[in-house]
Amino acid sequence: MGVSSRSTAARQPLSLRDVVDKYRQLSGGFGKPLALAAFGLSVEETERVFGIFDEDYHISRFFHFSLEPAAAERAVQTYRINGFPQSHLALDTEIESIL
């Protein structure tokens, strides 16, 4: 049971709370761009999870995706979030109002 529970848990997508908590921990505060790669997800999972949040108006208004201009030169991982290349995310403080 322990192994299958872990396997199931490993497949659970990050919740909005998980994303916000991890973002704050890794970025040091709201409004600071954080590489999407820092979330430690596969390319497919990053694109899926953040694509879902990007499609939700109540969430996406607090998400600010960006593509680092020198991403290719600096070998920064890029992702296609709803068809657009992105490498970083900054969150507004106000996202806490919907948690």
Q: Where are the domains of the chain?
A: 14-98
> Is 66 within 8 Å of 33 (Cβ atoms)?
yes
Cα–Cα distance for residue pair 91/29, rounded to 1 Å: 9
Identify whether the C-beta of residue 19 lies closer than 8 Å to the C-beta of residue 38: no
Q: What is the pLDDT of residues 26-53, one digit of tens each?
A: 999 999 999 999 999 999 999 999 999 9
Question: What distance in Å separates the CA atoms of residue 62 and residue 43, rounded to the nearest whole number?
Answer: 22
| pLDDT tens for each residue of 45-93 | 999 999 999 999 999 999 999 998 876 667 789 999 999 999 999 999 9
